[in-house]
Amino acid sequence: MKLIVKKDYEEMSKKAADIMIEEIKGNPNIILGLATGSTPIGMYKRMIKRHKEGEVDFSNVKSFNLDEYVGLKGSNPSSYKYFMNENLFDHINIGKENTYIPDGNAKDLNLYSKEYDNLIKKMGGIDIQVLGIGTNGHIGFNEPAKELAVGTSIVKLTENTMKDNSRFFDNPEEIPNTAITMGMGSILKAKKILLLISGENKKEITKRLLENNKVTTQLPASFLLLHPDVTIIVDEKAYKK
């Protein structure tokens, strides 16, 4: 595991964008695994800027997102589909047909979840997966629990996560309590993983993650310790002792 500590959010985002752009330039047909939340927004902004400056071309890139709320329409500004269009896809030359986001409105969600993993496999697998982390250690929407799903699946969100994420909803009461998320196996199959951590509110979880050389389903991000190619970029606010 490679740990990079950066001064602040801006520096973390810059380094993350540098890594992503190098990967895309090295493989124009790359398959990206993408994340939502406030943490990757700065990285996406820089990727957009450098695309607009002509440095990076997304025309052959494909992407798979980690997760989505169940029951929100893509036109709902709080949906992850809307988030991705707004924060990245609408501003780069990626084909929208090449951007995959789990469909939280699929008729048969269990069947759809299997198909999502199969599609990732069929496309050749994710080359680099971007992750954020929940204050409770979740990745994607894999919440701390006695057992964690291997493949993409439907999960109940914890009160903690619903509280953390209610800030993205005009009416915090409207946050769904169910989501579809890539499972731990879906995430760990990515060839490379880039975990971004920023801010004071992530200090405790960062400490738990980095100090315990153990895996536990109660801290889903700890499973990243088993992956051979993980880079963590953390800012000083999240890292300081």
φ, ψ of residue 117 to 5 degrees: the values are: -65, -40
Cβ nearer to ligand GLP, comparing 57 with 192? 192
The CA distance from 56 to 21, in Å, is 7
- Choose which of 12, 16, 20, 35 interacts with ligand GLP (CB under 6 A): 35
36 binds ligand GLP (CB under 6 A): yes
Bin 124: left if φ > 0, else alpha if -120 < ψ < 50, else beta.
left
Stretch that binds ligand GLP, among 29-37, 87-95, 116-124, 224-232 (CB under 6 A): 29-37
161 binds ligand GLP (CB under 6 A): yes
Assess whether 136 carries a catalytic annotation: yes
The CA distance from 100 to 73, in Å, is 15
Cβ nearer to ligand GLP, comparing 35 with 219? 35
The CA distance from 224 to 202, in Å, is 17
Q: CB neighbours (10 Å) of residue 58?
A: 21
- Choose which of 44, 58, 141, 223 interacts with ligand GLP (CB under 6 A): 141
- Choose which of 42, 104, 137, 140 interacts with ligand GLP (CB under 6 A): 140
- Find residue 142's DSSP bridge partners: 139
| Residues at the interface with ligand GLP (CB under 6 A) | 35-39, 66-67, 132-134, 140-141, 161, 165
